[in-house]
A and B are shown apart, each in its own frame.
Chain A
Amino acid sequence: MAEVSLSNVKKDFGAISIIKGIDLEIKDGEFCVFVGPSGCGKSTLLRMIAGLEDISQGALRIGGRDMTRVGPSDRGVAMVFQSYALYPHMTVGENIGFGLRMTGHDKAEIAKRTAAAAKMLQLEPLLARKPGQLSGGQRQRVAIGRAIVRNPEVFLFDEPLSNLDASLRVQMRGEISRLHQDLGATMIYVTHDQVEAMTMADKIVVLSAGRIEQVGSPLELYHRPKNLFVAGFIGSPKMNFIAVDARPHDGGIEVTLPGGAVLQLAGSLAAAAKMTLGLRPEHASATGAGDAVLPAKVHLAEHLGSETLFFVGLADGTEIAVKADGLAPERPGDSMQIGFPARACHLFNADGQAVLNGDLTR
């Protein structure tokens, strides 16, 4: 059993506070992804779990044991580095078996486990090669193999795919997910790429500036972002944000959109206020179907074949993105009618906290 639990974990580099108090429970066997913009402290947090950085404050438990002050080798974790960190002077086989050899395992055992890992990762034909003779994807697999042979209870990955090209990245994404299913181990995976997070995670932890913004399953974060940061970070293309006037009305909320159109939303509000309305491009209608319809002018059209992404200007100049059919005929300069479906709209108050989530799963 290897659940990972952090309570009020903090990290300072000198006078600068990088991790500002993290409370988090990761269940045994869960695939947990830390996601957030570059420099927000994801790697630092992962390295603290690995034992490569001291924990300035707070406590870390792995499998119920307090690991706050335990050295990296005694935590039962394995880590895959962004640069793979393969030992250049050793063959693939030696790389995979090195940790076992150094910790005094006998030869037969090392050979057996190396062979098993190589089989699982289709590395068998490459065992005698040096890392310099491998492609990026193969190196990645060797790095994973090195982690697997140790039968760790927790796998840690720090942006393992960011050095690969796009197609290989998609493939490796699948392989890591499959590995997770086969091994059933706890995995913690750091990435700045929200697509990776959405496709792989059981649980996503969105970090920003050393704090957790929200924890949840991919669909939870997509449908029920707690605040503007998460709403903007999860989903691609980004959610549209529109400044609106909101006031209580008829047991619900009435918002006034740019150009004067009004939209009736569910929920409740104490008093009128300036707010931000969020609507994902894929939920706005380019054909004018919706509870409020706004005239707009096409600024830019990106034709992706399967779909078209329009960037359109509203009456007050706000630009929003709208996903439309791949055959949509409008061109820059044309006028469009954009439909806003009320049940897909999110509303955020002046502090950026969600007042209303347009949760389509409800």
Chain B
Amino acid sequence: MFPTPIQKASAPARLAYQIALPIALVIWLFPLIGVAVTSLRPASDLAAGNYFGMPSSIAYENYASVFRDSPIGWYILNSFKVTIPTVIGAVGLSCLTGFALAVYGFRANLWVFFAFVAGNFIPFQILMVPVRELTLKAGLYDTTLGLVLFHVAFQTGFCTLFMRNFIKGLPFALIESARVEGVSEWQIFRHIVLPLMRPAIAALSVLVFTFVWNDYFWATVLVQGQHAMPVTAGLYALNGQWVAAWHLVSAGSIIAALPPVLMFFLMQRHFIAGLTLGATKG
């Protein structure tokens, strides 16, 4: 273990560490805590200049009014309408591509693989004009489906990298053994590899969910009106309306941040496994 376990240190050092932990956490999360507190502060406090003191009361009505007076509920729904099909599409497609790249030694294999990998790293702006044009022409501009299709395609790059490496880590003899038994390639995928990919599917699902939920750029490029706008772009638009109504902005921010945060806490192990792929070995 590195650093040396604190249990081996002197008693005062241990105590200092135990005290330092919460202090460091509070400092680290200061912007978040500030926003959370503000979201519960009544508007009257802000008007009276009470920005830092104890709120005069806990104003849950900020949240109520955000939901009542703004379309944020609708935006959240749109975000789900974009995110969930994207997760299913990207993870599904990448199971197939990852399998193809991990199991078969066809000639273009490495090139295709590196194209997927490189695609991950490119700046979105190089895609912006043509993808917007394509979406417009397909009549999908300003629809959640337009966003879904793009996100599925783009996330497939990252997911393929992940899936391919995951399947490469499975014992190849499983596949060969099935081949000798007369099992078809599709059956091998369906009955042997797919069941063993469950951890990878879980990890990618939470990751893709978070990435797509938090996307802002494409939400502004491919959507204009309220009816298809996801919550990130919606929040930005609301921020323009709520000039200086920080209690509302804060409440809106917390609402927008909540789904991925919940996802993270529920599926923490998978989330981190996905994010740190490759951080331990070659």
Known contacts A87-B192, A88-B196, A89-B196, A99 near B174 by CB under 8 Å: no
Asked if A85 and B184 make an inter-chain contact with CB atoms under 8 angstroms apart, the answer reads: no
Neighbour of A102 across the interface among B173, B174, B176, B182, CB < 8 A = B182
List residues of chain B with CB within 8 A of the CB of A78. Answer: 180-181
A98 proximal to B (CB < 8 A): yes
Known contacts A102-B187, A102-B191, A79 near B196 by CB under 8 Å: no
Measured CB to CB, the nearest residue on chain A to B194 is A89
With A and B bound together, what is the CA distance between A71 and B195 in angstroms? 25
Q: Which chain A residues numbered 68 to 105 have a C-beta less than 8 Å away from chain B?
A: 71-74, 77-79, 81-83, 85, 87-89, 98-99, 102-103
CB proximity of B101 to chain A, nearest CB, Å: 19
Asked if B181 and A81 make an inter-chain contact with CB atoms under 8 angstroms apart, the answer reads: no
B residues with a Cβ closer than 8 A to A are 171, 173-174, 176-184, 187, 191-192, 195-196
With A and B bound together, what is the CA distance between A71 and B185 in angstroms? 12
Asked if A73 and B173 make an inter-chain contact with CB atoms under 8 angstroms apart, the answer reads: no
Neighbour of A85 across the interface among B173, B182, B183, B195, CB < 8 A = B173
With A and B bound together, what is the CA distance between A83 and B173 in angstroms? 7
Asked if A52 and B176 make an inter-chain contact with CB atoms under 8 angstroms apart, the answer reads: yes
Asked if B177 and A79 make an inter-chain contact with CB atoms under 8 angstroms apart, the answer reads: yes
Asked if B181 and A150 make an inter-chain contact with CB atoms under 8 angstroms apart, the answer reads: yes
A358 proximal to B (CB < 8 A): no
Asked if B181 and A85 make an inter-chain contact with CB atoms under 8 angstroms apart, the answer reads: no
Neighbour of A81 across the interface among B177, B182, B195, B196, CB < 8 A = B177
Asked if A102 and B181 make an inter-chain contact with CB atoms under 8 angstroms apart, the answer reads: yes
List residues of chain A with CB within 8 A of the CB of B182. Answer: 73-74, 99, 102-103, 150
List residues of chain B with CB within 8 A of the CB of A88. Answer: 196
Known contacts A83-B171, A85-B173, A72 near B196 by CB under 8 Å: no
List residues of chain B with CB within 8 A of the CB of A150. Answer: 181-182
A50 proximal to B (CB < 8 A): yes
Neighbour of A98 across the interface among B179, B183, B184, B196, CB < 8 A = B183
With A and B bound together, what is the CA distance between A78 and B177 in angstroms? 9
With A and B bound together, what is the CA distance between A151 and B179 in angstroms? 16
State the interface size on chain A (CB cutoff 8 A): 23
Asked if A103 and B183 make an inter-chain contact with CB atoms under 8 angstroms apart, the answer reads: yes
Specify which of B174, B176, B178, B182 lies most central, judged by the most chain A CB atoms within 10 Å of its CB. B182
CB proximity of A52 to chain B, nearest CB, Å: 5
With A and B bound together, what is the CA distance between A226 and B209 in angstroms? 68
With A and B bound together, what is the CA distance between A49 and B280 in angstroms? 39
Beyond A72-B180, A146-B177, 5 additional pairs, beta carbon < 8 A? A81-B173, A85-B174, A85-B177, A87-B174, A102-B182
List residues of chain A with CB within 8 A of the CB of B178. Answer: 98-99, 102
Measured CB to CB, the nearest residue on chain A to B172 is A85
A281 proximal to B (CB < 8 A): no
Asked if B179 and A73 make an inter-chain contact with CB atoms under 8 angstroms apart, the answer reads: yes
With A and B bound together, what is the CA distance between A51 and B180 in angstroms? 8
With A and B bound together, what is the CA distance between A74 and B183 in angstroms? 11
Measured CB to CB, the nearest residue on chain B to A152 is B180
16 contacts between A and B (CB under 8 A): A51-B179, A51-B180, A72-B179, A72-B180, A79-B176, A81-B173, A81-B177, A85-B171, A89-B196, A98-B191, A99-B178, A99-B182, A99-B183, A102-B182, A103-B181, A103-B183
CB proximity of B106 to chain A, nearest CB, Å: 13
List residues of chain A with CB within 8 A of the CB of B191. Answer: 98, 102
List residues of chain A with CB within 8 A of the CB of B176. Answer: 52, 72, 79, 81, 85
With A and B bound together, what is the CA distance between A78 and B181 in angstroms? 7
CB proximity of A56 to chain B, nearest CB, Å: 15
Asked if B181 and A98 make an inter-chain contact with CB atoms under 8 angstroms apart, the answer reads: yes
List residues of chain A with CB within 8 A of the CB of B174. Answer: 85, 87
Measured CB to CB, the nearest residue on chain A to B177 is A85
Known contacts A83-B173, A88-B196, A102 near B183 by CB under 8 Å: yes
With A and B bound together, what is the CA distance between A159 and B38 in angstroms? 69
**Top-5 shortest CB links A-B:** A99-B181, A73-B182, A85-B173, A85-B177, A102-B183
List residues of chain B with CB within 8 A of the CB of A73. Answer: 179-183
List residues of chain B with CB within 8 A of the CB of A71. Answer: 179
Specify which of A74, A99, A150 lies most central, judged by the most chain B CB atoms within 10 Å of its CB. A99
Measured CB to CB, the nearest residue on chain A to B190 is A102
Measured CB to CB, the nearest residue on chain A to B196 is A89
CB proximity of B176 to chain A, nearest CB, Å: 5
With A and B bound together, what is the CA distance between A78 and B178 in angstroms? 10
Measured CB to CB, the nearest residue on chain B to A78 is B180
CB proximity of A250 to chain B, nearest CB, Å: 60
With A and B bound together, what is the CA distance between A73 and B195 in angstroms? 22
Measured CB to CB, the nearest residue on chain A to B176 is A52
CB proximity of B14 to chain A, nearest CB, Å: 40
With A and B bound together, what is the CA distance between A87 and B182 in angstroms? 15
Measured CB to CB, the nearest residue on chain A to B179 is A72
Please encode chain A, from 34 to 67, with 1 for each CB lying within 8 Å of some chain B CB and 0 for all others. 0000000000000000111000000000000000
Asked if A146 and B192 make an inter-chain contact with CB atoms under 8 angstroms apart, the answer reads: no
Measured CB to CB, the nearest residue on chain A to B183 is A102
Asked if A89 and B187 make an inter-chain contact with CB atoms under 8 angstroms apart, the answer reads: no
With A and B bound together, what is the CA distance between A83 and B181 in angstroms? 16
List residues of chain A with CB within 8 A of the CB of B179. Answer: 51-52, 71-73
List residues of chain A with CB within 8 A of the CB of B183. Answer: 73, 98-99, 102-103
CB proximity of B195 to chain A, nearest CB, Å: 5
Specify which of A73, A77, A102 lies most central, judged by the most chain B CB atoms within 10 Å of its CB. A102
With A and B bound together, what is the CA distance between A52 and B192 in angstroms? 18
With A and B bound together, what is the CA distance between A71 and B182 in angstroms? 9
With A and B bound together, what is the CA distance between A96 and B125 in angstroms? 54
Asked if B173 and A89 make an inter-chain contact with CB atoms under 8 angstroms apart, the answer reads: no
List residues of chain A with CB within 8 A of the CB of B192. Answer: 87
List residues of chain A with CB within 8 A of the CB of B187. Answer: 102
With A and B bound together, what is the CA distance between A22 and B66 in angstroms? 80
Asked if B180 and A79 make an inter-chain contact with CB atoms under 8 angstroms apart, the answer reads: yes
With A and B bound together, what is the CA distance between A146 and B181 in angstroms? 9
List residues of chain A with CB within 8 A of the CB of B171. Answer: 83, 85
